Amino acid sequence: MVTGLYATSRRPNPATGGVCVFFSRSKTAAEPAPAQERRRSIRHATVTQVAKLRLDARREELCLLRDISPEGARAEVYVSVEVGTHIEIELRTGHIIGGCIAWIDDKAIGVAFDEPMPMSAVLAHCSFDERLGNLRPPRLNVNMRGILVAGGTQRVVPIGNISQAGLQIASADPLTAESPCMIGIPGLEPRPATIRWWRYGEAGVMLTEPLEFAEFAEWRSLVAA
């Protein structure tokens, strides 16, 4: 029995009238990797992307995608969730993927998608250049009040949604676009900002310095508790 040798050619043997088999210690072709390893390398992509987690029609939270594949994803969450809950993940491109929470491990969750997604589409949704500025951070719908200081006037304003970069508020009084202001958000220190637009009683406010994700996630976990 020959171990570790691989047949490379067969030639006639005049002395015996048989065939000589020549062996080599190197394979002529590499053996294919196990199917499980091939699937893992093809299907799973490591990402780091902030996304929106929609738990129901009235509750939106933040999550941080870590791994994603056509069949599911692993994400970090900062609020309490339960196995079996049906959720929607909204990517920064605006694409929405539905699925169920399959497992929970501390802050990490595993999500099984309702239906498989093509890997090319998954990666396209998670790959972008931050410098292009065409993908805004996820906005969370909220129901709270803040304090706006603009034009020498302080007023209480309803906050409709908020992101790391800014927020949308309601203001019956007109506000001047591109004017500086200060905005106070419950649970956060007042921050300098700029009025970006005002129309039909609503305004967009951009923070001068965007909130760091860790700070935003911690704030959200506290106000959502």
CATH code for the domain of 87: 2.40.10.220
Q: What are phi and psi of 208, to 5 degrees?
A: -65, -40
Full domain range(s) for residue 195: 140-223
pLDDT digit string (tens) for 27-51? 444 444 444 444 443 445 666 788 8
Residue pair 181/154 in contact (Cβ under 8 Å)? The answer is no
Distance CA 71, CA 92 (A): 19
Residues 62 and 94 both lie in one domain? yes
Residue identified by tokens 């939270």 is 61
Q: At a CB cut-off of 8 Å and minimum separation 6, what does 17 contact?
A: none
Residue 141, Cβ density class (10 Å: 0-12 exposed, 13-18 middle, ≥19 buried) = middle
Distance CA 124, CA 158 (A): 36
Mean pLDDT over residues 74-86, rounded? 90
What's the domain count of the chain?
2
Q: What is the pTM of this model?
A: 0.58
